[in-house]
Chains A and B, each alone.
Chain A
């Protein structure tokens, strides 16, 4: 598909490509400089809820990548056809379709995982990251770039969740992906990490780390 686009693009193709040269910047934005969890602090409800085990958060991350890419693609494809009055409800319909697709897939092929994630897969419909990317990005940008943006934000979410879950599962249960790394004789699992406070604490550290490495935001520098 990328090749096709370059052909039709003609002279500008060599430098621009399907993403108009913004692909890398978009990818970096979603994953790092404006990571939905650790910088924008969006969609933290699910990030707190499913990060008690690494496996759960990886599946949840995959779900968000799938939904973001799919919904961004279709919102972008339909962006010139969509009447403004029903814009948001249309986006929700598309998002909900992808979420339910993923949910049905889990229910059919990964029943145990579906049970563990409980309502949180379905709740991706109301996740502000997905809706936010559709509104803020896909409505203004071409399909391929929108898909990159969806992927980047989904990946940013997945990475942030994986970091949180890594520490919560390791310190809270002494295991990773179900494998015992810290045997019980040598390490006493800290229940706090599995419970809600552990999620808040770890998220706080992740936010602090991302902000520390990214440095202060430009608009904050200009403030007196």
Chain B
């Protein structure tokens, strides 16, 4: 009886349903908190790429409040931009951040790019979501890699929009060092950045 097909089917159905029901309930109950955490994470990334100072241990609610007070969100039909008017004492200059997204070597890469309002220099780059090889491509998430972009120009000497990662272009005003052993990741990251840079530059042209 215990090994009959019907019993097996019933058993599986009941065990499966109970487990599924339990997880659905827990998932639904924790949903608001998870969403608040994800929102705080996003806000934290925007604030840090724009150079806004905040306490490292700030709670989710504090971060969201700070974000809402200091950052102006501009949403057009498909793009979003985060505008920061600069700190009161002038130590942090005004800048605009846009989200970065695209394929890396192993999985999607997401981050933010901050530029000055005149679209001449990069104020900051972060990559908060990536699945690149730890120790090699994964270094794109590290501070040393992201910090290289600060102060680089958005255009090369001929005036073409874009940046260069690695190679002979690394010494140019729009170039940064690549990661040894992570050429593929660097190429993909460069493509993601350049797509975003070209878009903002062309948007600016179109809108005067």
Which residues of A line the B interface, CB within 8 A?
78, 81-86, 89-90, 93-94, 96-97, 100-101, 104-105, 107-109, 111, 115, 195
Contacts and interface: CB of A to CB of B under 8 A. Distances in A.
A81 B10 CA distance: 11
Contacts of B34: 104, 107-108
Interface of B: 2-3, 7-8, 11-12, 15-16, 19, 22-23, 26-27, 30, 33-34, 37, 40-41, 60, 135
23 contacts: A78-B15, A81-B2, A83-B11, A84-B2, A84-B3, A86-B8, A86-B11, A86-B12, A90-B12, A93-B16, A94-B15, A94-B19, A97-B19, A100-B26, A101-B23, A104-B30, A105-B30, A107-B37, A108-B33, A108-B34, A108-B37, A111-B37, A111-B60
A51 to B, nearest CB: 15
Nearest to B57: A112
Contacts of A109: 33
A62 to B, nearest CB: 17
Contact of B19 (A83, A96, A104): A96
A83 B16 CA distance: 14
A100 to B, nearest CB: 6
Contacts of B33: 108-109
A81 B11 CA distance: 8
Contacts of B2: 81, 83-84
Contacts of B19: 93-94, 96-97
A109 B30 CA distance: 9
Nearest to A85: B8
Nearest to A195: B135
Nearest to A89: B12
B8 A97 contact: no
Nearest to B60: A111
Q: Which 6 pairs across A and B sit closest by C-beta, in order of nearness?
A: A108-B30, A108-B33, A111-B37, A97-B19, A83-B8, A104-B30
Nearest to A84: B3
Contacts of B26: 100-101, 104
Contacts of A111: 37, 40-41, 60
